[in-house]
Amino acid sequence: MLRIEGLNQYYGGSHILRDVDLDVQEGRANCLMGRNGMGKTTLLKCIMGLVPIRGGRILFRDRDISQLKPHERGRLGLGYVPQGREIFPQLTVEENLRVPLASKRSAGIPERVYELFPVLRDMRRRRGGDLSGGQQQQLAIGRALVLNPEILLLDEPIEGIQPNIVKEISEVIRRLNREQGITILLVEQKLPFARATADRFDIINNGNVVASGEMDELGDDLIAEHLTV
Ligand SMILES: Nc1ncnc2c1ncn2[C@@H]1O[C@H](COP(=O)(O)OP(=O)(O)OP(=O)(O)O)[C@@H](O)[C@H]1O
Ligand SMILES: [Mg+2]
């Protein structure tokens, strides 16, 4: 469904992503793993068109999307939950959820967003900045669902979140994958959360994908070499 071929990316003179190949199959829940600063966020930003790339292709349903603008990729079916959530603290919950709908005034917030996260309905008139970290994460995921994505990219969604919400976030991602058929590309460093949530892994090291497989094949040697435990 999403295929990346020979992707290279630079920040100024720094070569960050090096000949990255990645294949995300429809219906799967993939986890992109790797230590701090290895290029995980940069790769998601490339997929969404938020940073320019230098060489390589990004194919979504066999179409090269690498020249499309971020909002065009969103309309095609790519949803994105950025690292650090990036909700608008001054806007209400409902206004935050409406942000992706800006160009479609008549469209409403899909009911399933409130079904998945009832707290967002209860707090819809509150300012985003008044929500707890866990509630803000639910808002960030809800906002990404508003345009009915076929694939959802989530960047470290449990960073800075209370343990009791962590399990809930994992269950929501699994439900989106299993019950609603949304393909998942999760970025996560924490092994228990990755194992509970995803069924495949890819490991990125210094801007290069060095290992991939089924989650139950992720062995101790790879964990010791590439992950923080
Ligand atoms: N805007 C930027 N300008 C210059 N360098 C950047 C920029 N953003 C990230 N980098 C550098 O690119 C490399 C990859 O960063 P990236 O944020 O993609 O890593 P990451 O794997 O997501 O790390 P983390 O787990 O800490 O979120 C790092 O060396 C980082 O310092
Ligand atoms: Mg990151």
> pLDDT (tens digit, 0 to 9) for every residue of the chain, 229 residues total?
999 999 999 999 999 999 999 999 999 999 999 999 999 999 999 999 999 999 999 999 999 999 999 999 999 999 999 999 999 999 999 999 999 988 776 778 999 999 999 999 999 999 999 999 999 999 999 999 999 999 999 999 999 899 988 999 999 999 999 999 999 999 999 999 999 999 999 999 999 999 999 999 999 999 999 987 6
Q: Which ligand is nearest to the CA of 35?
A: 1
Burial of 160 by CB count in 10 Å (0-12 exposed, 13-18 middle, 19+ buried)?
Answer: exposed
Checking 121-124 for CB contacts under 8 A at 24+ apart, the result is 123/93, 124/92, 124/93, 124/94, 124/97
Read off the pTM. 0.95
Whichever domain contains 178, its CATH number is 3.40.50.300
Q: Which ligand is nearest to the CA of 82?
A: 2
The preferred substitution site among 17, 40, 44, 204 for testing ligand 1, maximizing ligand atoms within 8 Å of CB, is 40
Q: Domain residues for 92?
A: 2-226
Ligand 1 atom, smallest distance to 35 CA: 25
Residue from 40, 24, 33, 4 nearest 151 by CA: 24
**How many domains does one find in the chain?**
1
Ligand 1 atom, smallest distance to 45 CA: 18
**Gyration radius (Cα) of the chain, Å:** 17
Calculate how far, in angstroms, residue 52's C-alpha sits from the geometric centre of ligand 1.
Answer: 14
Q: Which residues line ligand 1 (CB under 6 A)?
A: 11, 14, 16, 34, 36-42, 83
Dmax over CA atoms of the chain, in Å, equals 53
